[in-house]
Structure 1
Amino acid sequence: MTDSHSDREGSTHFGYSEVPLSEKQHLVDDVFHKVARRYDVMNDLMSGGLHRLWKDTFAAKVNARNRKGFKHLDVAGGTGDVAFRIAKASGPDAEITVLDINGDMLEVGRDRAREKGIDEKLEFVQANAESLPFPDNHFDAYTIAFGIRNVPRIQIGLEEAHRVLKPGGRFLCLEFSQVNVPGLDKIYEAYSFNVIPAVGKLVAGDGEPYRYLVESIRQFPAADEFERMIRKAGFRRTGYERLTGGVVAIHSGWKY
């Protein structure tokens, strides 16, 4: 189901369920309230630990090193995984803003930033990706990792990303995609629906949040369709790079 269809009908998907558009954000929030303190465990379960390498590759594309006055926005990044990588690579005057709608996730990120001694370099903001509390043309780069599929109105979220970026700014999105390697797709399907929820229940005591996350991956647009959505939001020089046989993709676009 595409985002435009969801807007038109006043409903959208929550995993494989159809829900009123107005209810999705609350349902997604509930999922992340449940997993906030076990977020790293969740990502390890979802990716077999590969999310760490994917995020290294993703953050490196921001190219934050030696950019004076660099301003970066990481959306749906509450626990700081991507922002910490960018902060480490950027100069001393860089401003890194971590935005998330979920306060529990942000609290995890603040705690981790203090432990790493980099909390002064980061600002944590609780807000909605569909209504960013920043002026137009403000940031040099925008990242969102494994978060765009949880935004109820994806097209509006993309348009907001375009609005807050400076001309010449770059949009980067890391998201689960569609496996395009024969054989691997069947293995990945079985792992996703049979292993992840079961292990999630064993480790976290509740398998349902993990089942939703697996289902949400299957409901997300194919890579070429998502690229069209990025272009519709106003971005140019768009493209995507598949990693690990298409398990994830890094999408990119530039604001002119």
Structure 2
Amino acid sequence: MDETKDGTTHFGYREVPVDEKKKLVGQVFSSVARNYDLMNDLMSLGVHRVWKRYFVGTSGVKRGDRVLDLAGGTGDIAALLHERVGETGEVVLGDINAQMLGVGRDRLTDRGLVRGLRYVQLNAEALPFPDASFDLVTIAFGLRNVTDKARGLREMRRVLKTGGRALVLEFSQVKPEWFRPIYDFHSFQVLPRLGRLFAQDADSYQYLAESIRKHPPQEELQAMMAEAGFARCSHRNLSGGIVAIHSGYAV
């Protein structure tokens, strides 16, 4: 799937120059950073916390592993990973947005989580790490905001050690036909109103709803991971395909 052809790409339902998308996405997440976790709870009725715990719980991460959590945002995935890698492991929380990274660092520090955590402002399309640096690379609810997803996936593959695993948790294509109108109503009518009411920002949540619809569906993303060099690629739907976990290994 070529999402950057003719020098343009999608920002929600708009076509914008490739160079402009990074700035526009940055503005969205700078706007929502302080209310990000509250809005996630409101939008998913708290179910996002169950998805994330399942995501980490089935990751296979073990004590002593070195893990890169991309688009790590406010640190909830990093905190769950940190519990599992223990004192001998390390979790690197990476995010392109300084405001989101700052919120994550402050929250984890306030919880007393300091040792074994690093914070790096980075672009997922050009990771500042040597080849074969990590046992696990995760990205939760962030891949759809990467302009060149194929390039981002190749970078994830590059920094994985042989035998390492990449895991992507992302909104995907709802499978039950009967549920799709309900989901669309929630996405395009309820979400922007929640954004306006609780975050004084309807436009950012309109974009987030649109970005979900523009993200590659399950089978397409699985094929993209295989094309990026991953082996044993698979996906697992959660909540009827509202979200899916994609997995691939470096061999």
- Give the TM-score normalised by structure 2: 0.98
2:158 maps to a residue whose letter is R
* Aligned partner of 2:136 among 141, 155, 159: 141
2:53 is aligned to 56
Amino acid at match of 1:28: V
Q: What letter matches 1:10 in structure 2?
A: G
CA RMSD of aligned residues (A): 1.0
Asked if 1:42 is matched to 2:77, the reply is no
SS of equivalent to 1:119: coil
**1:129-208 alignment runs, 5 A limit:** 129-208=124-203
What 5-or-longer segments of structure 2 have no aligned partner?
none
Query: Secondary structure of the residue that 1:120 maps to in structure 2?
Result: coil
Q: Identity rate of aligned residues, in percent?
A: 50
User: Among 12, 18, 23, which residue is 2:20 paired with?
Assistant: 23
CA distance in 2, matches of 1:78, 1:242: 23
Measure the CA separation in 1 of the matches of 2:189 and 2:75.
Answer: 29
Please give the secondary structure, in 1, of the residue aligned with 2:115: helix
C-alpha separation in 2, matches of 1:188 and 1:182:
10
Opposite residue 52 of structure 1, the aligned amino acid is R
Distance, in Å, in 2 between the alignment partners of 1:48 and 1:186 is 18
Secondary structure of 2:248's match?
Answer: strand
Alignment partners' CA distance in 1, 2:161 and 2:116: 21
How many residue pairs get matched? 251
TM-superposed CA distance for 1:121, in Å, is 1.9
Listed one character per residue, the Cα deviations across residues 153-187 of structure 1 (whole Å, up to 9, x for unaligned) are 00000000000000000000000001111321111
Tell me the amino acid that sits aligned with residue 53 of structure 1: V
- Per the TM alignment, residue 112 of structure 1 is displaced from its structure 2 partner at its CA by 0.7
Q: Is the 8 A contact 2:40 2:48 kept in 1?
A: yes
| TM-score between the two structures when normalised by the length of structure 1 | 0.96
Distance in 2 (alpha carbons) for counterparts of 1:35 and 1:18: 22
2:109 and 2:180 map into 1 onto residues whose CA distance is 40
Deviates more, 1:183-192 or 1:234-243: 183-192
Residues 162, 255 of structure 1: 8 Å contact kept: yes
* Counterpart residue type for residue 72 of structure 1: V
Shift of 1:91: 2.1
Is 1:64–1:91's contact at 8 Å kept on the other side of the alignment? no
1:121 and 2:77 equivalent? no
Where in structure 1 are there 5+ consecutive unaligned residues? none
Query: 1:73 corresponds to which residue?
Result: 68
